[in-house]
Each structure stands twice: as C-alpha cells, then as structure tokens.
Amino acid sequence: MATGVQRNLITPEQTGEHQVQQRQLRGAQAVRVRGLTRRFGEREVLKDLDLDIAPGEFVALLGASGCGKSTLLRILANLDREISGTVDVAARRAVAFQAPRLMPWKKVWHNVVLGLPGRQDRTKAIAALEEVGIGHRADVWPKVLSGGEAQRASLARALVREPDLLLLDEPFAALDALTRIKAQSLVAELWQRHRCAVLLVTHDVEEAVLLADRVLVMKDGVLAHEETIAMSRPRNVASAQFGRIRANLLGWLGVHQPH
C-alpha cells in the first residue's frame, strides 16, 4: 500500500473500531479525496484528483468510457489500492455494480444478508427485498430473476447494510429502457428514505440530471466540470431547464446538439 493513504476499512475484527470511525465521520464528509493519482503503467488514469461528498448528498459522475470514473469508484470501494494520495471513505458503504453479481449458488434472500454479522436474518432480508419490490422472489435462485429483478436484489443487498455511502457503478446500463426508468425512480425513492450519500457512476446524462444533487464530469482523469442541480424533485425531463442542463453537460462531454 502506498504511503500517506488513510483508509477506513471494514474488516470483521475491526468492528468495534469501525463504530468509532463512523461516529467521527458523521458531520464530516462521507468521502474526502485529496491528490489521488492512479497509474496503469505509464498512463495516469486519475490525476491529482480531489473530491468531497457530503453525508446524504447524491453525486453523479459522468464521463465517456475509459475516462477513469469506474477506477475512481473501485478505489472508493477499496477494490483497488495501488494508489497515491489521501482517500477517506465512510466505513459503512455498499456497492451495486453494473452486473448484479449475485452469488448464483445462494437463494436470493441469502444473497441479501451475505456478509452481515451474526446469523442469517431472514426477516431482515425479506424486508429489504420488499422495499425494492421483490419480496416474493426471496426463495428462488438468482438464475430465475429477470435482469431488473436481479438489479433490485443487488440494491437490496446494498441497502440492507444501512450504508453511509452507496456506490453505484452504472447500475442501470444493462437494463432495457422501460426497466431502467422504473429502477431510476426506485433509486430516487430509496435515497429519499435512507438519506445515504450516493456516488452514481454513469454515462447517461439524463439519468445524472434526473437523480443527482451535483453532477461531476470527468475527462482525462480529472474532474473537468461540476454542475449543481437546483431543480426540485421529482424532476421533469421535458422541462426547459432540464434541457438546458443536459445540453450543457453534453457539451462538456463533447457532444454538441443542434438548438
């Protein structure tokens, strides 16, 4: 591990300590990144990056593929430690990936509570599954879930951990258009209820503007642009203000639309 990196890792033997760290982080930032650099060989994928996410804030990270946005998310999820810089993240965090990544050999409800301390709490799993609308699918194998259902199960698995920070890595990218709209409004609703900080990595500008308090545009390993979305919720995709913000963000991403 590179020097000068501070992290709050969740490991079972640190449970007591993690409670303390968590209390320290309350009121501070859910994410605090300073001078983060990640190299793949000669190539700098992330260059001296700074990022703050407030508790309960919904941040969307936009960028073309290969710009380093998923790398940043992996670093925040503690899946990539070959970094230099300072990275502090909420100890209680959860991740939902583009693929649901459910363990195919565990029934859905076992998947939801996998890794939680103590015995496998079925009622807790059912409650979490009901919250995402698939309580009736608790006892099936993941293979029989539809794409949307599997993604919901993956969300339930993340939320059952009551995270202070939820990392979403293009969770809707593989869903069909209709399912995606439903999943997006579900995430908005869950976020209103749980009020955890969210970092949503996406390449869908509309999705970012629809859901986030703040949209960051990543380009060549730096955060090139930041846009605070002041619109009230629920947001109307068809409104003029929405269109302006979207056009502006697309411009930052190098897509210029005719007016």
Partner 1 sequence: MTDDIAVINTAFGQVAASNTGAIGTGARRQGILRERIKPVSVSTKGVPRWLRRASGPVLVVLAWHLASVTGLLPKEVLAGPATVFSSAANLIATGELQQAMWVSLMRALVGLAIGGSVGVTLALCAGLFRLGEDLIDATVQMLRTVPNVALIPLLIIWFGIGEAPKIALIALGTAFPLYLNVYAGIRNVDSTLIEAGRTLGLSRAALIWHVILPGALPNALVGLRYSLGIAWLALVFGEQINATAGIGYLMANAREFFQTDVIVVCLVVYALLGLAVDFTVRTLEKVLLSWRPAFSGT
Q: Is 120 in the site for partner 1 (CB under 8 A)?
A: no
Q: Is 103 in the site for partner 1 (CB under 8 A)?
A: yes
Q: Least distance in Å: CB of 107 to partner 1?
A: 8
Task: Decide the pairing of beta strands 222-228 and 93-96.
Answer: unpaired
Task: Decide the pairing of beta strands 197-202 and 165-169.
Answer: parallel
Distance, CA of 70 to CA of 85 (rounded, Å): 17
Q: Is 10 in the site for partner 1 (CB under 8 A)?
A: yes
Q: Least distance in Å: CB of 163 to partner 1?
A: 10
Cβ proximity of 93 and 31 under 8 Å = no
Full DSSP string of 181-241: HHHHHHHHHHHHHH--EEEEEES-HHHHHHH-SEEEEEETTEEEEEEE--PPSSP-TTSHH
Q: Least distance in Å: CB of 15 to partner 1?
A: 10
Q: Least distance in Å: CB of 252 to partner 1?
A: 30
Which residues, 123 to 182, sit near partner 1 by CB under 8 A? 141-143, 157, 161
Instruction: Among 16, 27, 41, 104, indicate the residue that binds partner 1 (CB under 8 A).
Output: 104
Cis bond upstream, residue 117 (ω within 30): no
Q: Is 32 in the site for partner 1 (CB under 8 A)?
A: no
Residues that bind partner 1 (CB under 8 A): 10-12, 77-79, 94-95, 97, 99, 101, 103-106, 114-115, 141-143, 157, 161
